[in-house]
Structure 1
Amino acid sequence: MKRRPLYLYRASRFLWLFKLTPAGRVLVLAILLTALGSVTTQLPIYQLFCGLFALLGVAETSGLLFKPSLRIVGEPPTLSSAGGTVTTQFVLHNRSRWRPALDVMLGLFGLPRDVKHVSGDLFLPSIRPGGEARLSLTLQTDRRGIFPLPAVQAVSTFPFNLVRFGGGKTEPGRLVVLPDYHSLEELEIPVSYRYQPGGVMLTQGVGHSPEFIGNREYTPGESVRRIDSRAWARLGRPVVKEFHEEYVSRIALVLDTHLPAFRWPDGANRRRLEAAVSLMAAIAERLNFNEHVIDLFAAGPELYVFRTITGTTHFDSVLEILAGIEPSRQNPFEKISPLVVEELETISTAVCVLVGWDTTRAEFVRRVQESGCQIKGVLIRDPDTNSQDGPPLDLDGDWTIATAEQIASGELVRL
């Protein structure tokens, strides 16, 4: 019994927002208004009420009689970029052998707020019995994120474009909206090489060829990848290949997602976070052209870590991670600093993009430097922030201070 109000709410929302077309909603409002005025059958408005109600009844009855039987073939879009559009083609098959499908269009009920169906007016006048036709679906995405998509439905609005009647649908999907960013023209990062345990595996595909030194006897616990089968067969005992230890350039990308928990309005904070994500995407794109091993750290409620084996094949994966990052309302730096520093022991350079400055962030930066990493930092803050609210002069590293507007407009092209 307690679930009935929720069910009624969902049903009424479906009827009003999807079952009725915009013209159908206007008709229903007109019926309600004329019903309020028809207190007696002697008034002319009563005849108007009856006529409008009869029109809705004819539309519903005719729609049920001519409800199409369709099979929709296609997949909902899965990838887009913030502020852009994505278009997908669907093939509609009319299963009926004797009845055409009339006024067919595509519809989605329950789209997320930041995803809009901009091709809702496209329709097919008819699909012959047993025939098929193509229809495109275009979605506009306002901001980055990972959004659940409802099923794409093939519907008919015959005869008066007042009511929709479903004829087939796809499975629900998921849309990943990548962050929008402006490419950097120049990125100067201090590069050094540090010893990497397992460096041979890390540098595969980055242009490095490990130097083969010779063979030695197998020690229990060693990786079986290094076993030399030919030498084993010749000597009659396990033998492994020995390589010169590798020193690799690894760059850590550290993204700060901490925003104040109770601050009104929240628009400026959100713009700083979106600017930080966009700038991190631009930095990752620039590093994608160089032979670096990249580690991405997102300092949110949990420590999100993504490692690449080669810096030339994982840029799309970095963008997908950035697409799903949400703000952290609690300051995470006190908890994650030891974890990040432990990971940074083999990192050459840390590129930090921060959305604010306080004692915990300052301590985090100092601990990163104490681990032996060089710092390339960007601090994003409001234009009216005190100029002293930032990295102190005695803090080593190359720091850039920018506003969210500068990053969003593409003014920041060199770091």
Structure 2
Amino acid sequence: MKFLYHLFCLGYKVQQWLLKRFTSAGLAILVSLVATVIVGIDTKQTVTYQVFAFMIATLIIAVTFSCYFPARFDVQRQLPRFATVGSRLFYRVAITNRNQKLQAGLLFIEEIADPKFSLTEFKQIITSNSNKGSVNSLTYIYYRWLCAIAQKRKAKTKAIALPSLKPNSTTEIRGEITPTHRGVVRLQGITILRPDPFNLFNATKTVKQAGSLLVLPKRYQLPVFNLPGSRRSQSGSVSLASSVGDSEEFISLRDYRPGDPLNKIHWKSWAKTGKPVVKEEKSEYFVRHALILDTFQSQKHSEILEEAVAVAASFAWDFHTQESLLDLMFVGLESYCFTTGRGLGSKEQMLEILAGVTACQDNFDCLMAAVVEKVSMLSGCICILISWDQQRRKLVNYLRGFKIPLLVLLITENEQQHEDLNLENLYVLPLGKIQAALMNIRSI
């Protein structure tokens, strides 16, 4: 296993080097070289070896020409703070030519930091359950290795042609990155490429320029949707009212008790009496909904979890929080509950949190406990599940017992497996058809 790990690491580095240094035509020449070696083994019966010799000579000239690239460049990029999975990101890049000569025919490509996998992580990658191939196939194992690397890189880039760079001048161009997975993309520099006259091999000059951006989950279009709910008491909350609805009503003054929040202290009365006095106020009443995200699975990564996060992001972004509160509840390394609405938090912050969601391999009861703590304050609930079993049925029945509006979304690979589910306001979202299934949701 250790030998295979080092072999794959080396293979990936060689693959990246070939893709960067050789142009499309150069790669075609390499493939042709292999073919001519196979066909032209017997030099007495074929002239293929002559073609082989010609291509070898051409590549040697191309590589030799590209060994000398003394140009100097400075690079500055202006990255936005956020990107979204699946949406191409365009940004400005300023490249300064520090040479006395015009630089023409160049390309540039962003360098994304390559992820580092430990031997333990490598074992988990190649032994994780999958129905797409055999674990005994080296080709398939390497394919899964590349998929894991792509998932950790979070984005992909491509070489972009540069205009002619004038001597000692700065040229502004448009860079492009395509985010593929949510999370943080770490950039380590920009590489300038100069093809040889045969357009086979690239000379390179890398300018180190660290940078990063957060890739938010992709979002789906949602139908016009209304989740009703009556106002509930939010006792013990800190001034959640903004300008709409019932704010806290002053009742009386009383002596300070340990644990009272500082913003409740009545400073004028303290100045008069010489001892701390606090304001006693009536509890607030708000419409408060919960967005419960199921993250419990045995694997670290799965397409189902990614789609669940995307659906949660869609509701978090489209949910109207001017007159209500929305609690995002999920379990990762610990239990999380993030509240937005009525001036508390923002939709962007909620998407930032969803960008970092990880799978939880603990007991499902952790989520149940978090829900029990908040359920008395909830006016309605959206529950996004990635599986269906007795524990999840228990959670749904528990929420139904409080007679609050409840929408349950079950994301699955096998739609037929859940055809017998006949629960009110439960929608099955099959992979590959999630957008269409979401548009079938009706208001409760």
- TM (normalized to structure 1)? 0.79
Q: Deviations over 1:50-90 (max 9, x none)?
A: 44333323333333323431111014565333332111221
- Identity of aligned pairs, percent? 25
Instruction: Select which of 333, 338, 356 maps to 1:306.
Output: 338
Instruction: Select which of 71, 81, 87 maps to 1:68.
Output: 71
Change (3 A) 1:205 1:102: farther
Instruction: Select which of 194, 197, 201 maps to 1:157.
Output: 194
Instruction: Select which of 362, 366, 378 maps to 2:408.
Output: 378
Moved more, 50-59 or 203-212: 203-212
Change (3 A) 1:6 1:115: closer
Rounded Cα–Cα distance in structure 2 between residues aligned with 1:255 and 1:39? 65
Q: Deviations over 1:187-212 (max 9, x none)?
A: 13223312321342x33566654323
SS of match in other structure, 1:403: strand
SS of match in other structure, 1:56: helix
Rounded Cα–Cα distance in structure 2 between residues aligned with 1:400 and 1:297? 19
Q: State the 1:44 CA deviation.
A: 5.3
Note if contact 1:85-1:139 (Cα within 8 Å) is conserved in structure 2.
yes
Rounded Cα–Cα distance in structure 2 between residues aligned with 1:355 and 1:190? 25
Change (3 A) 1:236 1:320: closer
Rounded Cα–Cα distance in structure 2 between residues aligned with 1:296 and 1:149? 27
Rounded Cα–Cα distance in structure 1 between residues aligned with 2:25 and 2:216? 32
Note if contact 1:182-1:282 (Cα within 8 Å) is conserved in structure 2.
yes
Indicate the residue corresponding to 2:146 in structure 1: none
Letter aligned with residue 192 of structure 2: V
Rounded Cα–Cα distance in structure 1 between residues aligned with 2:69 and 2:294? 56
Structure 1, unaligned stretches of length 5 or more?
392-397
Where in structure 2 are the equivalents of 1:9-408 lying within 5 Å? 9-34=11-36, 37=40, 45-76=48-79, 79-96=82-99, 98-108=100-110, 112=150, 115-117=155-157, 120=159, 122-142=160-180, 144-146=181-183, 148-160=185-197, 161-164=199-202, 165-171=204-210, 173-200=212-239, 202-204=240-242, 209-258=247-296, 270=303, 273=305, 276-299=308-331, 302-308=334-340, 310=342, 313-326=345-358, 332-369=363-400, 372=402, 374-380=404-410, 382-385=414-417, 387-391=419-423, 399-404=425-430, 407-408=434-435
| Structure 1 consecutive aligned stretches of length 4 or more whose deviation exceeds 6 Å | 1-4
Change (3 A) 1:378 1:12: same
Aligned-pair Cα RMSD in Å: 3.7
Structure 2, unaligned stretches of length 5 or more?
115-148
- TM (normalized to structure 2)? 0.74
Q: Deviations over 1:124-172 (max 9, x none)?
A: 2431221121222223345x52253443423122333333312414215
- The size of the alignment, in residue pairs, is 395
